[in-house]
Amino acid sequence: MLPNLPPYIIWAVAAFVVLLLLWLAWQRPNKQRLVWRLLASVVAGVSLVLLVFQPTTQQAISPSTAILLTEGYNVDTLQRLIQRSAAEPQVYTYGTTADDATPIRSLYRLRQEQPGLRKVHLLGYGLKKEELNALEDVQVQLYLSPKSVGMAAIHWPEKVKLGETVAVSGQYNREGEASTWLYLMASGQVRDSVEVTADTTAGFKLRYTPKQAGQFVHHVVENSGEEADTVGQVSVQVQPVQRLGVLLLASSPLFEFRFLKNHLAELQHRVALRTTISKGMSQSEWLNMPRHNLNRLTPKLLQQFDVVITEPQALQNLSAGERATLERAVREEGVGVLTITNAPANSRSTSFFTSFQTRRLSQQDTRSTRASWADNTTAIATAAPYTLVYTTAVAGLVAEQNDQFLAGAKRAGWGKVAMSLVPQTFPWQLEGKEEVYASYWANLLSAVAKQEVQETFWQLASPQVPRPNQPLTLTFTDYAAAGADVPSATVTHMADSSSVDLPLAQHPLQPTQFSGTFWPRRSGWHQVQVSGAAPYSFFVQDSAVWAFTTIQARQQATQDFVAQQNAAPVAEAAVAYNEEPVPLIWFFLLFVLSSGFLWLEEKF
């Protein structure tokens, strides 16, 4: 290639060569195919000159702007962004592929590729929190892709008590003409299933009641008709039922209390029943506990119990001193009191326990309604003709239709007082609905009974689904550790007992809280512990499950990063131009074809 010359010299040379070839073609005596000879002469002359003086084109570029494509980017969004740009920006791919884009393995390469980079248009699902550090002083403009098809949200309890239901709930996006079935697999068997219809986004709930305590990993499987795929793992710790101390106070012999006493005793709860036979006479029973004098409620006696289940008349029959003692046990010791009734209790002497607002729904003595409670178990119940009126102080324990409550509780000091408008639940047992009966009372007792105070406990702060080679944050709270040294923690992989130390840092504003970051290397159950506190178990999922959580985490991290930049908008930089040489092969082909035509035409 010759050195660059002014364009007028190049075109002057081209004009001279073309005119020379045209004059030679015109001077030939044979005038056949004259037009074609003249045209071929022009093409040959111009292409010869352009082969000697290679032309260039100018391409507008933006040296301070780039487009970064990540997994899940939308092609239409990319095209619109390029079309409205004054100069075509450089396009890079990270963790994905695209035509006419430069792949990079590290985001720090962006600065090496474009030293003047000031603004990045980010498309796709975004970047991980640790990857965003490479864009610290670059303004990022987001074009995040919408949620992916398939599982979009998931939740299940980390721990349940034995006898409680494991409820796996979530949201599923289904596209296409065929529906999808979701299955909850436990111990290799289908425990529950739900159908998600085509072209819809629907919530779902899968339930299973474990039969024994321990640590278990269940699976959610999707089947669209072609093949079944495991969507994710459901790790659950089933804890033994807390052995409660239950005191039953009845004003007369009642089937409800007798059935409840036997049921609680079968579950190994400590149960005592005091039934008034006549004025001044009562009958006492004890199951799974030593005998205590139940004739009078005393502070020492109430220390043996976590919850008192009674009725308005039995409360009325207590002496003023006994009611004061019971009230003090609720306020100061955290004892729970549940009152079962078929009508509002209007006595001022028992108002501490029974002051719940009610509304009459029927003029009959009883009514039949569909009741539901915490684990979404539903059953037809015979209830009082009243419903509890919702207030901000009352938490619903048993609901019915129209967002009304059949049972509710409210806090009173350290404990709770509750009222139930379902006076008879023993018919469920007579009808063979033992699981419904057990679930109902497990729900009420766990909500009302004295809460076990935990001075030390662990929590998995983030992420929702831990994965190998991804950081997770564990927090340890010790209410007795204010001003104490930072504890030493150890994380153990429970499959092979290998362990590593977990450094903890004290929270600057909450001296009783400590946190540490752990990088698990493998999936499976892990256990973290410190001296003097109960160990905490957590499960690290396989890398491929619950893929949507990874996408959501990246989107959230990217959005948080952009929100914290607080940078003024970057002004559009002046457009620069990059000279690109035109490939010589095209001029060479034109020269060969035109000159070849002139040579052959002269021969024939």
More confident residue, 592 or 561: 561
> What region, left, alpha or beta, does residue 414 occupy, with left being phi > 0 and alpha being psi -120 to 50 degrees?
alpha
**CB 398 within 8 Å of CB 379:** no
Alpha-carbon gap, residue 153 to 249, rounded angstroms: 46
What does the mean pLDDT of the chain come to? 87
Question: What's the confidence (pLDDT) of residue 163?
Answer: 78
Q: Which whole number is the average pLDDT over 377-384? A: 92
Beta partners for residue 238, in sequence order: 160, 214
Alpha-carbon gap, residue 526 to 519, rounded angstroms: 12
Strands 336-340 and 307-310: parallel
| Weakest mean pLDDT among 74-78, 117-121, 430-434, 593-597 | 593-597
Does the structure show a pLDDT above 70 at 570? no
CB atoms within 10 A of CB 133: 12
Q: Is it true that domain 245-448 has CATH number 3.40.50.880?
A: yes
More confident residue, 219 or 592: 219
119: tokens are 């603004």
Question: What's the confidence (pLDDT) of residue 369?
Answer: 94
Per-residue pLDDT tens digits for 32-90? 777 777 787 777 777 777 777 777 765 655 778 889 999 889 999 998 888 887 777 88
What is the C-alpha end-to-end distance of the chain, expressed in Å? Answer: 36
Question: What's the confidence (pLDDT) of residue 397?
Answer: 95
Is the bond into 385 cis (omega within 30 degrees of 0)? Answer: no
Does the structure show a pLDDT above 70 at 571? no
What crossing angle do the helices spanning 34-52 and 7-27 adopt, rounded to 10°? 150
| CA 248 to chain CA centroid, nearest Å | 42
Q: Which residue has the tokens 């507008």?
A: 60
Of 160-169, 227-236, 259-268, the range with the highest mean pLDDT is 259-268
Domain 245-448 and domain 466-540 have a common topology = no
Question: What's the confidence (pLDDT) of residue 347?
Answer: 87
Q: Which residue has the tokens 């973290």?
A: 528
Of 14-18, 136-140, 470-474, 595-599, the range with the highest mean pLDDT is 470-474
Alpha-carbon gap, residue 292 to 304, rounded angstroms: 9
Residue 554: partners with Cβ closer than 8 Å, 6 or more residues away: 70, 125, 126, 127, 128
On the 0-12 / 13-18 / 19+ scale of CB atoms within 10 A, 573 is middle
376: tokens are 């979404």
Residue 217: partners with Cβ closer than 8 Å, 6 or more residues away: 233, 234, 235, 236, 539
Residue 52: partners with Cβ closer than 8 Å, 6 or more residues away: 2
Beta-strand (E) ranges in 546-588?
576-581
Question: What's the confidence (pLDDT) of residue 277?
Answer: 87
Q: Which residue has the tokens 């007795």?
A: 480
Beta-strand (E) ranges in 228-291?
228-239, 245-250, 270-278, 281-287
Does the structure show a pLDDT above 70 at 7? no
**CB 36 within 8 Å of CB 25:** no
Name the class of domain 152-240. Answer: mainly beta
- 3-class SS letters over 97-124: CCCCCEECCCCCHHHHHCCCCCEEEEEE
Backbone angles phi, psi at 107, to 5 degrees: -70, -20
Per-residue pLDDT tens digits for 328-350? 999 999 999 999 999 988 889 99
Alpha-carbon gap, residue 482 to 280, rounded angstroms: 53
Does the structure show a pLDDT above 90 at 138? no
Backbone angles phi, psi at 591, to 5 degrees: -65, -45
Question: What's the confidence (pLDDT) of residue 31?
Answer: 66
On the 0-12 / 13-18 / 19+ scale of CB atoms within 10 A, 227 is exposed
Of 38-47, 450-459, 492-501, the range with the highest mean pLDDT is 492-501
Q: Which whole number is the average pLDDT over 129-134? A: 87
Backbone angles phi, psi at 129, to 5 degrees: -60, -45
Alpha-carbon gap, residue 603 to 30, rounded angstroms: 12
**CB 393 within 8 Å of CB 223:** no
Does the structure show a pLDDT above 60 at 573? no
Query: What architecture is domain 466-540?
Result: Sandwich (2.60)
Question: What's the confidence (pLDDT) of residue 472?
Answer: 94
CB atoms within 10 A of CB 92: 21
Question: What's the confidence (pLDDT) of residue 151?
Answer: 86
Q: Hey, where are the domains in the chain?
A: 7-55+582-603, 152-240, 245-448, 466-540
Alpha-carbon gap, residue 202 to 151, rounded angstroms: 10
216: tokens are 């278990």
Q: Which residue has the tokens 């001075």?
A: 455
Q: Which residue has the tokens 């729904």?
A: 361
Beta-strand (E) ranges in 413-565?
415-420, 456-462, 472-478, 489-493, 499-502, 505-506, 513-518, 524-530, 536-540
Per-residue pLDDT tens digits for 153-207? 899 999 988 878 899 999 998 877 778 899 999 988 999 999 988 878 888 999 8
